[in-house]
A and B are shown apart, each in its own frame.
Chain A
């Protein structure tokens, strides 16, 4: 159990390459589950390797329980890691795999046996102990890899995309198990993934990364409901948030945006006028489940649009319409689903839609709450202390 804090961590490989990690700042409390999420190449795995000590950082500090560990060798950091490829020692049995780290640390044999038994029971792999990794399924290997990490009872667990080699069904099962395990053991955990559903379901805190920079750091709720920029808004959520381009207009001291479809148009009120926003090209962001359908509240302006395609997914039916030449997805209950070609009356609640600058992709202040990633990180860090 330990706190983890990254202070201004930088990583460069030199020789003209772009920085791999830039000014990474984040902090989590003891027992928290941190997700590093982002597309491949965003630096999340590098950051994890830096925490583990497998790669050196070029600047900044990594603090565990307030102690800087960035100069220590991996073995002294008291950190255990589960790898994407599991990295089980192929010539050793499961028992030897789990015991290896304990043997290296010269624990008495009785203690090692007890620990292996405890971990095997915890993960229900007692019947596999004498097998070699090659004799097990992917899911079983995954469990053993977790067992090897659990056996050392380290201060921090690191998971590097542990579920990405499993088939879809097993992935969901293991996800739940990892969450259960964490609830039971309450060990500080850092978990790298490119899967936004894993990020949403597992994390206490989520750091969304791109190009070596933390785009936003916060709780899954904050990230989902209050994304800092277009990238975060588009990355989290499935199906992704709708982005509708429009130009801000001013009328009677308030801002409006004009929505246009083949079947009609409407003016969407977008709050008080703020300095410099008038006439700007912006992107309106609205999640598929936040588009209201039907008569609804008469107070909201509505727009009619024709359903082009319907995609029933089972629990929901997704309807696709076109507004301002952008494809817009609407999430509907299956029994309320129209047919392709039907015209729908759509409404947008002004307090649910988000505005982003069309050029920079940053959240615009018109609807409040926008924060720069740096500020967000600092706020979270203060909260963490």
Chain B
């Protein structure tokens, strides 16, 4: 019964997962066959390549920045959309729209909007608007976080909206009778009640932005390197633009390790979460 799933997962997910570790010990430049070189790649990437640490730092900034932007906005949006006023329902319909666009589509759109001489900055009469959105090393990270958030907030907003609607109305009624204000209700009812949603959404957000590649690649083309090249992008460029698949695999293994740690950590933090498989056999 589980065989098809196991077969697919085993061949195209587990084997590559082992494979990436194996290739990290090999030299391979796409042409020709991989060659065993032991720890050489690891030493080089970890100790002789300062950019690895730059990329790691950028990744941390990007993941945390994305989370700090997306999580509150999505949560507030979810609460807002769950409200009963008609205009909110109407807005909720429109909030969904970014989900219709692929990340490549979004990347191309914003690339054109941020074009210095023919985009937003040229169209708006504000002198103070910067016009090097995507080239300024100090600015481009925040632009990336914003654009990625633009893409993903709608989905997480929907998750929260569904979560809020699951909260029994009686709880709010009781709280109102007790004289709790809207703010207190939010912190003492809404937030605690949403904890499963928060865990699900946070896991998807954090692991998602850790491996985020498409949009950033299309939007920035990978330049400026030391401002945008987070680990997944560094891996792609090292592997498929510099053709050093050994180095790229080391970066990939680092990514996998961070991803697994992050998921486990969230799992522990969330206590008796549903990822716990205790009930699986029951």
A and B are partners in one complex rather than unrelated chains: no
Which residues of chain B have a CB within 8 Å of any CB of chain A? none
Which residues of chain A have a CB within 8 Å of any CB of chain B? none
